[in-house]
Amino acid sequence: MDIRANHLGIPLDISELDGENLSYFRHCAAHAFHLQACAACHLIRYPPTTACPWCASADARWVPVEGRGTVHSYTEVHHAIQPAFRAHTPYLVLLVELDTQKGQPTADEALRVVGNLTTAHGVLAPPEMVREVGIDTRVRMVFTDVAPGLALPQWTIDETARGSAPPWRYPQE
């Protein structure tokens, strides 16, 4: 069955023909992060796809993956793309390198998962939290519920990893 939802003014539709994404977001809706592991070469992949990007095998199984990692890069958004985002600017889009499968199959092909920076409750982070986060910040996954069968994987600061050096951030005016 199709999923048709709306998140802060953005339509989020998943066709019933898109089995990979339906499975992916069904796990997220249960607040459990799963990715496909190739049955042939055993590498885990992201985003969900019909075939392994390394060996082209179509056989895969869903495996639980720990939602923990390090910010690899980020974008700080100051111009809202939808009116509903205006109240949340500036907000961060994070590219997070997972601890799982780090450096495999090469250092440049690690698992990197996109999400917003949110509070621990999955709401877009307030400005004081945005200012704390940059490259190398340790984060953990949380979920934003959108509709039945659909939740978005997001990122929040990993409180257990605080106290290390400040992260790298783009120079501020």
Footprint of Zn ion (CB under 5 A): 38, 40-41, 52, 54-55, 57
What's the closest the beta carbon of residue 28 comes to Zn ion, in angstroms?
Answer: 23
Side-chain-facing half-sphere of 115: CA atoms under 13 Å? 34
What's the closest the beta carbon of residue 131 comes to Zn ion, in angstroms?
Answer: 41
What's the closest the beta carbon of residue 12 comes to Zn ion, in angstroms?
Answer: 29
| Residue 169 vs residues 32, 53, 57, 72: alpha-carbon distances, Å | 30, 32, 39, 11
Q: Which residues contact 61 (CB under 8 A, 6 or more apart)?
A: 36, 37, 39
From CA 56, how far away is CA 62, in angstroms rounded? 17
From CA 145, how far away is CA 118, in angstroms rounded? 13
What's the closest the beta carbon of residue 36 comes to Zn ion, in angstroms?
Answer: 10
Pick 6 or 57: Cβ nearer Zn ion? 57
Pick 41 or 120: Cβ nearer Zn ion? 41
Give the residue carrying structure tokens 């993956």. Answer: 65
What's the closest the beta carbon of residue 44 comes to Zn ion, in angstroms?
Answer: 10
H/E segment holding residue 127 = helix 127-130
Pick 28 or 38: Cβ nearer Zn ion? 38
Q: Cβ of 108: how many Cβ atoms within 10 Å?
A: 7
CB 62 within 8 A of CB 35: yes
Pick 44 or 151: Cβ nearer Zn ion? 44
Pick 55 or 63: Cβ nearer Zn ion? 55
DSSP state of 135: B
